[in-house]
Amino acid sequence: MSKSKGYFLLFVALLILISALFIGSGNFSITSLFDSTEGNFILLELRLPRMIFTLLVGIGLSVSGLVFQTIFRNSLATPYTLGLSSGAAFGAILAIILFKNFTALGSYSTSIFAFLGAILVLLGIKFILKFVRKFDTKTILLAGVALNFFFGALILFLQYFADPTEVFLAIRWLMGNLTVVGYTKPLLLFAIVLPTTLIFFFKSNEMNALLIGDELAQSRGVDVAKLQNLLIVTASVLVSGIVALAGPIGFVGLVVPHIAKKVFGENLSKVLPVSILIGGIFLIACDSIAKIAIPKSELPVGVITAILGGPFFIWVLLHKNEQ
């Protein structure tokens, strides 16, 4: 990337990161956040952890979206293409409705069930591939779509028998939630985002080869099936962890990779770090808007990303149709 573009992006990122610390629903001045005990708690235990958590969620979604678009060579692929979000939603809603009094796992029971639900989808895809004895991106996509509809039906089945309070909690979870207290959630997510993202960095040159086609990639010494399997499993674990902790926040994994590739080209060794930076600051910006869009209230961040991402998705469809 050019130095001017890089410096500008870093400046915007720094500006958004600093601004996010001082944007919230409470009527606190900047000085009161540093001068009072209550202000210190809000700054250090609520806003700073939330900013870090949001940054990590944005990074994970944008990187996984880029990886899935590369694997499937499809500009419309997202982190949820394989139906992981439906499996996670099923697990979370199962915990909310059927295991609301299950206290053995504490406050993380919903997240744990959501993670297990997403992994169940991944195992389901693996079973289907083993059964049909065919490993290719088309079969993987079809298996993901089938499981997405299946778990979507199970979610509706659970909601039908739930009471209004449980349905509200389920719908609220489906909108995404970046609220955190303390640093437990950010640390958990960091432990997932760091190793998976490093794997993508190490494999970026081989991922570039995938873009030119399987046969040409194989002629360059790339074990395509092994690489695709590694990338799918790694990206799926990353997405599963994000959805389990933050809920299914849409469109970040679609919008950010397109912006990065549009400005900085197709080379993944350049697009990957740019997607990391843009993904984090994009979601932080959306979260800041969600905090102040309605006075004395806070919108779920998924609403803001959908409002911004919906028109962008249409633009991608039109642009794809023109090619």
**What is the 3-state secondary structure of 64-115?**
HHHHHHHHHCCCCCCCCCCCHHHHHHHHHHHHHHHCCCCCCCHHHHHHHHHH
Q: Which residues of 232-265 are buried (b: 16+ CB within 10 A; e: fewer)?
A: bebbbbbbbbbbbbbbbbbbbbbbbbbbbbeebe
Tokens 């053995």 found at: 104
Q: What is the rounded CA–CA span in Å between residue 275 and residue 256?
A: 6
In a domain, 9, yes or no: no
Domain span at residue 239? Answer: 56-322
Locate tokens 């394989």: which residue? 82
Nearest to 59 by CA among 262, 313, 242: 242
Distance of CA 57 to CAs 4, 123, 173, 251, Å? 27, 23, 15, 12
Residue 278 lies in a domain: yes
- Is 171 contained in some domain? yes
**Local confidence band at 40 (pLDDT 50, 70, 90 cut-offs):** confident
How many other CB atoms are found less than 10 A from the CB of residue 179?
Answer: 15
Q: Which of 11-15, 49-53, 186-190, 191-195 has the lowest mean pLDDT?
A: 11-15
Count of domains forming the chain: 1
Whether the CB-CB separation of 305 and 249 falls below 8 Å is answered with: yes
Count of residues in the chain: 323
pLDDT of residue 138: 84
pLDDT, position 299: 87
Is residue 232 situated within a structural domain?
Answer: yes
Q: Residues 248, 242: contact at Cβ < 8 Å? A: no
* Global model pTM greater than 0.85: yes
Percentage of residues of the chain with pLDDT beyond 70? 89
Q: In which band, very low, low, confident or very high, does the pLDDT at 120 lie, cut at 50, 70 and 90?
A: very high
pLDDT for 3: 66
45 part of a folded domain: no
- In degrees to the nearest 10, what's the CA dihedral of 101, 104, 110, 115? -150
Average pLDDT score, the chain: 86
Contacting residues for 117 by C-beta, under 8 A, at least 6 apart: 87, 88, 89, 90, 91, 92, 94, 151
pLDDT band at 264 (very low <50, low <70, confident <90, very high): confident
Answer whether 176's CB lies under 8 Å from 42's CB. Answer: no
Given the structure tokens 């389920």, which residue do they identify? 170
Residue 8 has pLDDT above 80, yes or no: no
- Residue 11 has φ and ψ, to the nearest 5°, of -65, -45
DSSP 135-185: --HHHHHHHHHHHHHHHHHHHHHHHHTS-HHHHHHHHHHHT-----SSSHH
97 or 153, greater pLDDT: 153
Distance, CA of 186 to CA of 193 (rounded, Å): 10
Q: What is the pLDDT of residues 45-71, one digit of tens each?
A: 888 999 999 999 999 999 999 999 999
- Cα 278 to the chain's mean position, in Å? 13
pLDDT bucket at 32, cuts 50 / 70 / 90:
low
Is residue 56 within 8 A of residue 186, CB to CB? The reply is yes
1 within domain boundaries: no
At 195, is the pLDDT very low, low, confident or very high (cuts 50, 70, 90)? very high
Q: What is the CATH number of the domain that holds 280?
A: 1.10.3470.10
Residue 30 maps to a domain: no
Residue 14 lies in a domain: no
Query: What does the block give as tokens for 168?
Result: 């509200």
Q: Which residue has the tokens 């800041």?
A: 288
Could you read off the pLDDT of 69-87 as tens digits, one per residue?
999 888 888 999 899 999 9
Measured between alpha carbons, how far is 236 from 226 in angstroms, rounded to an integer? 15
pLDDT, tens digit, 9 for 90 and up, residues 91-112: 999 988 887 655 555 568 888 9
Q: Which residues, 6 or more positions from 264, have their beta carbon under 8 angstroms from its beta carbon?
A: 1, 5, 270, 271, 274
